């Protein structure tokens, strides 16, 4: 038996001002999308802003439903919307911001497993590493690719 170690690196920022300008712009759009999220059940409003290689930004908030599993996370709402509107554009980056009961989340809102799976397919489809900016008021983390966030991922080519 052998052990295979898997490690990832993320950039860590302690203020919005320290982020590169393009990341800051995307975070602002994610924050605005979180303001417009429809999350009356969890009161956890998430916003995601997707930057495409054609320069467009597509942003969306999570969409909940009284029949709980029928809702959708912000990341997938934004990515599927981007795919529908710009089917030939590659995703360059996604920023995620969240607020709980109207208060900005202090720590990075890490995307759920299902969103990582969808983000990974966008990355593969676009043949470009997708920068993932997970914004928290106190701490922001940036991953250089979705593959870093989903090691040992499902692949039909196994
Ligand atoms: N949520 C997201 O929008 N993104 C994630 O990556 C995880 C969770 C949403 C789903 C639900 O509307 C609320 O946050 C609470 O789980």
Give 1 Cα–ligand 1 centroid separation in angstroms. Answer: 38
Residue 155 has what pLDDT? 84
Ligand 1: lining residues by beta carbon, under 6 Å: 39, 42, 44, 46, 62, 64, 71, 73-75, 111-112, 115
Domains and CATH numbers, the chain: 11-149 (3.40.140.10)
pLDDT (tens digit per residue) in 122-149: 999 999 999 999 999 999 999 999 999 9
For residue range 11-38, what is the model confidence (pLDDT) as tens digits?
999 999 999 999 999 999 999 999 999 9
pTM: 0.97
Positions of E strands within the chain: 10-13, 44-52, 57-61, 91-100, 103-104, 131-134, 140-143
What's the pLDDT score for residue 157? 81
From ligand 1's centre to the CA of 65, what distance in Å? 12
- The predicted pLDDT at position 110 comes to 98
């Amino acid at each position: 038996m052998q052990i295979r170690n898997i490690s990832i690196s993320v950039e860590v920022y302690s203020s919005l001002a320290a982020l590169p300008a393009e990341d800051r712009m995307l975070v602002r759009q994610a924050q605005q999308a979180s303001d417009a999220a429809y999350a009356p059940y969890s009161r956890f409003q998430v916003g995601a802003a997707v930057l495409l290689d054609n320069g467009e930004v597509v942003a969306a908030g999570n969409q909940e439903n009284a029949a709980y599993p029928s809702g959708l996370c912000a990341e997938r709402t934004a990515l599927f919307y981007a795919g529908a509107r710009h089917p030939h554009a590659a995703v360059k980056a996604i920023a995620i911001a969240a607020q709980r009961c109207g208060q900005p989340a202090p720590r990075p809102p890490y995307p759920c497993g299902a969103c990582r799976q969808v983000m990974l397919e966008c990355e593969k489809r676009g043949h470009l590493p997708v920068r993932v900016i997970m914004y928290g008021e106190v701490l922001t983390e940036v991953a250089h690719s979705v593959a870093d966030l989903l090691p040992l991922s499902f692949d039909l080519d196994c």
